[in-house]
Amino acid sequence: MNPPAPSASIRDGALLRRRLADELAACGDLRTPAWRVAVESVPREVFAPEWFERVDTERGTMWAPVVGDAATLARVYEDVTLVTQLDNGVRPRDATGPVFGVPSSSTLPGLVVGMLVGDGPQLDHVLDVDGSFATLLPQRDGSWRVREGGPRRLWDLAERAAAAWRVQRSPAVDAFRLSITPDRQTVHLPDNSLTWDLPRG
């Protein structure tokens, strides 16, 4: 008696895992056969069966629920961070439409593999409430590689802010002021020579 043929979703998941492994190997995150076997074997849809997608509205950032199925399986195997829960405990299955909240996420596969495979200090990771992230991964030659994703490039923003701060002769933290209005929150120097808008959640 022949064993039953694997379902389409099982075959598709295996194919998508192989494709993800190819992508991670191409960008240098996946460097050993043993870790490739792990990436190709572990079904990510078990750990991320549902998630939220960001929706920008006139009222601010909201999160729309997505419950995984055959139509959304490919999204699970993209090298992206999936928002799996919001700060008020709401899971995608609990929401009937877009909701507000601070996201909690399932870390993107490339970052997880980079942490597990890398040598020495693992990484510095910056994550914002809008789903943007920047990750610094140490390289063997002593340099750092930056990976960014999401709606904003956080590391680029940080580098520009640091350069502007140095131009102003590196003022101390207590030199800055905080201004809050109904429409805007800013951190600035008294003469407004250096000003940053705080993000709106």
Do 160 and 174 fall into the same domain? no
Total residue count of the chain as it appears in this document:
201
Q: Where are the alpha helices (DSSP H) in 82-182?
A: 109-117, 154-167
Asked whether residue 184 falls in the same domain as residue 87, the answer is no
Q: Phi first, then psi: give them for residue 147, nearest 5 degrees.
A: -120, 135
* pLDDT for position 173: 82
Residues 15 and 104 in one domain: yes
Residues sharing a CB contact under 8 Å with residue 87, sequence separation 6 or more, in sequence order: 101, 102, 103, 104
pLDDT recorded at residue 9: 59
Quote helix, strand, coil % in the chain, to nearest 5: 30, 25, 40
Q: Please state the pTM of the whole predicted model.
A: 0.51
Q: Are the CB atoms for 100 and 62 separated by under 8 Å?
A: yes
Q: In which residue ranges of the chain is pLDDT below 50?
A: 1-8, 71, 119-121
Q: Mark whether 75 and 143 lie in a shared domain.
A: no
Whether residues 45 and 98 share a domain: the answer is yes
Check whether residue 71 and residue 83 sit in a common domain.
yes
Q: Is 39 exposed, middle or buried (0-12, 13-18, 19+ CB in 10 A)?
A: buried
Q: What total of structural domains would you count in the chain?
A: 3
* Domain span holding position 70: 8-117
Residues 38 and 104 in one domain: yes
Look at residue 1 and tell me if it is in a domain: no
Q: Do 50 and 26 fall into the same domain?
A: yes
pLDDT digits (tens, 9 = 90+) for 74-121: 888 887 778 888 876 788 888 889 988 877 765 556 666 665 565 444
